[in-house]
């Protein structure tokens, strides 16, 4: 049985890997992609998605342009062109025009596609999903499973001292998404998982052989991405968004994902854009029932903490032609 999936993306290099996998995995029915400004504008992200889908043989998947602006005040972040290139795909698609044409309006496409059996994987800032939750709360509540690439449970960010990039781009939107009325506790795939799911020299050597259409398309972008994408994990390199799609479809990939209270720091200051996970409940349970209530603003989420790196590498090498 296949699982219906919508991807929300900001059009970067690791997004391209994730989208290619979702478009070609027979277990996934990729029914639509929406774009949000982040790595590049929502319009450029839509171009990148269309190029990936065309190369992957899936031009049938509808793509809709979503939000560029933010739901609320946001930190000033350095553009990610040093990681993803000015075009979002390692400066490999500048000037290329896809054959397909994107739709305008992420929310109408989400409204049309969500049917109670459809899941969403978010790979960028959470602005589109916050607007879905605010404008169409019944449709948000009908999402089967929400999985986001964002945040860090154990502390330490990549865009800010304690802020992961997707959350820090729009903390107010992230706070809305965290507190929205989802049918099931969403799954957060943060840096705790993605920094443990990495590719090494042998994986990049296989990629360079270009044995598959995916490897031929992704080789140059991933080589551009590797030097700064691996800042916190060198010499191995994470592929955050690919790990997030695997977390959606591979039940054994995330090895530890307890349900814990989650909140977002939305106020300017040292913690702006951070994900705050309340780890006290398991400790209280182990101590015989002592407990304290979480402050306002927390909601129960599944928090990814452990990952099967061997499975991640097997799936990457499968994509690259091993």
Mind listing the pLDDT tens digit for each residue in 302-319? 999 999 999 999 999 999
Return the pLDDT at 296. 84
For residue 194, what pLDDT band results from cuts at 50, 70 and 90?
Answer: very high
Residue 290 pLDDT exceeds 70: no
Rounded average pLDDT over 58-69: 97
Per-residue model confidence as pLDDT tens digits over 243-266: 999 999 999 999 999 999 999 999
Residue 36 pLDDT exceeds 90: yes
**Rounded alpha-carbon distances, angstroms, from residue 23 to 20, 49, 89, 187:** 5, 11, 18, 21
Return the pLDDT at 288. 63
* Kind and range of the H or E run holding 33: strand 28-35
SS3 202: helix
Name the DSSP class of 267.
S
Burial class (CB in 10 A: 0-12, 13-18, 19+), 244: buried
Instruction: Specify whether the CB–CB gap between 227 and 2 falls below 8 A.
Output: no
Rounded average pLDDT over 187-215: 97
Among positive and negative, which fits the CA dihedral 146, 148, 154, 160?
negative
Residues 80, 4: Cα–Cα separation, whole Å: 31
Q: Tell me which residues are annotated as active site.
A: 10, 240
For residues 126, 153, 304, 278, the Cα torsion angle rounded to the nearest 10 degrees is -100
Mean pLDDT of the chain: 95
Instruction: Specify whether the CB–CB gap between 102 and 50 falls below 8 A.
Output: yes
Per-residue model confidence as pLDDT tens digits over 105-114: 999 999 999 9
Return the pLDDT at 291. 64
Return the pLDDT at 107. 98
Instruction: Specify whether the CB–CB gap between 36 and 66 falls below 8 A.
Output: yes
DSSP bridge partners of 275: 264
Query: pTM (2 decimals)?
Result: 0.95
Return the pLDDT at 94. 83
């Amino acid at each position: 049985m296949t699982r219906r999936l919508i991807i929300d993306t900001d059009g970067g290099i690791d997004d391209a890997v994730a989208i290619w996998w979702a478009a070609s995995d027979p277990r996934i029915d990729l029914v639509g992609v929406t774009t949000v400004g982040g790595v590049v504008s929502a319009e450029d992200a839509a171009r990148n998605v269309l190029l990936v889908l065309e190369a992957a043989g899936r031009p049938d998947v509808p793509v809709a342009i979503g939000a560029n602006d933010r739901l609320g005040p946001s930190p000033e972040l350095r553009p990610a062109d040093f990681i993803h290139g000015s075009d979002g795909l390692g400066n490999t698609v500048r000037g290329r025009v896809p054959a397909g044409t994107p739709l305008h309006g992420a929310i109408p496409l989400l409204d049309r596609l969500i049917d109670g059996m459809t899941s969403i994987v978010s790979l960028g800032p959470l602005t589109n999903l916050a607007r879905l939750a605010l404008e169409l709360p019944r449709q948000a509540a009908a999402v089967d499973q929400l999985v986001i690439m964002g945040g860090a449970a154990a502390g330490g960010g990549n865009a800010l001292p304690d802020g992961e990039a997707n959350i820090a781009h729009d903390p107010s939107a992230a706070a809305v998404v965290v507190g929205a009325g989802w049918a099931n506790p969403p799954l957060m795939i943060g840096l705790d998982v993605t920094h443990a799911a990495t590719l090494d020299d042998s994986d990049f050597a296989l990629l360079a052989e270009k044995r598959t259409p995916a490897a031929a398309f992704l080789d140059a972008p991933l080589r551009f991405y590797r030097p700064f994408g691996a800042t916190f994990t060198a010499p191995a390199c994470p592929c955050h968004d690919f790990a997030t799609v695997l977390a959606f479809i591979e039940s054994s990939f995330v090895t530890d994902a307890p349900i814990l209270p989650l909140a977002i720091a939305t106020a300017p200051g040292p913690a702006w854009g951070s994900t705050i996970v309340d780890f006290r409940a398991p400790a209280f349970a182990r101590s015989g029932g002592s407990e304290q209530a979480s402050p306002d603003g927390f909601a129960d989420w599944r928090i990814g903490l452990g990952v099967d790196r061997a499975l991640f590498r097997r799936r990457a090498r499968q994509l690259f032609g091993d």
